[in-house]
């Protein structure tokens, strides 16, 4: 977990997805996207002293995929491991917000950025009553 240092470096490291973009050197480390270790770092932020954890799960229901070669089988296996790992960590959050996109969105499809932002805004707005209750607002 990148806890101190330049924000630009943290953002660059967050984009360093192994196999797609190289790791970012920093001091004696090579930094990559934190999702490699913990896609939902609820337990990590609790250790940092956070009382209430709100997670956002942007995964979509998977379509049945026909696996025709070894690479596809490998990627499917990684996706399954990631899914089960994420489910375990989501249990550590007090609340999970799950935006509904209404259409399939591929990870690197920036043409759907507006759709994703709008879906996130709708989901956040819909979650406000639950969040207020979780926080004990309004206070008397």
pLDDT in tens, 22-63: 999 999 999 999 888 888 889 889 999 999 999 999 887 766
Question: How far apart, in whole angstroms, are the C-alpha atoms of residue 133 and residue 54?
Answer: 13
Of 85, 119, 125, 81, the closest CA to residue 102 belongs to 119
- pLDDT score of 70: 87
Cis status of the peptide bond prior to 8, with omega within 30 of 0: no
Reduced to 3 states (helix: H, G, I; strand: E, B; else coil), residue 25 is: strand
pLDDT in tens, 93-116: 999 999 999 888 877 789 999 999
């Amino acid at each position: 977990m990148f806890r101190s240092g330049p924000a630009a470096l943290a953002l660059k490291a967050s984009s360093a997805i192994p196999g797609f973009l190289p790791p970012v050197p920093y001091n004696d480390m090579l930094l990559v996207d934190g999702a490699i270790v913990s896609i939902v770092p609820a337990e990590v932020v609790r250790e940092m002293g956070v009382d209430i954890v709100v997670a956002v799960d942007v995964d979509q229901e998977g379509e049945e995929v026909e696996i025709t070669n070894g690479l596809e089988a490998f990627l499917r296996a990684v996706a399954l491991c990631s899914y089960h790992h994420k489910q375990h960590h989501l249990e550590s959050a007090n609340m999970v917000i799950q935006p509904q996109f209404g259409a399939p969105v591929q990870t690197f499809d920036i043409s759907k950025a507006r759709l994703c932002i709008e879906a996130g805004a709708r989901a956040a707005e819909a979650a406000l009553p639950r969040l207020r209750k979780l926080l004990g607002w309004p206070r008397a």
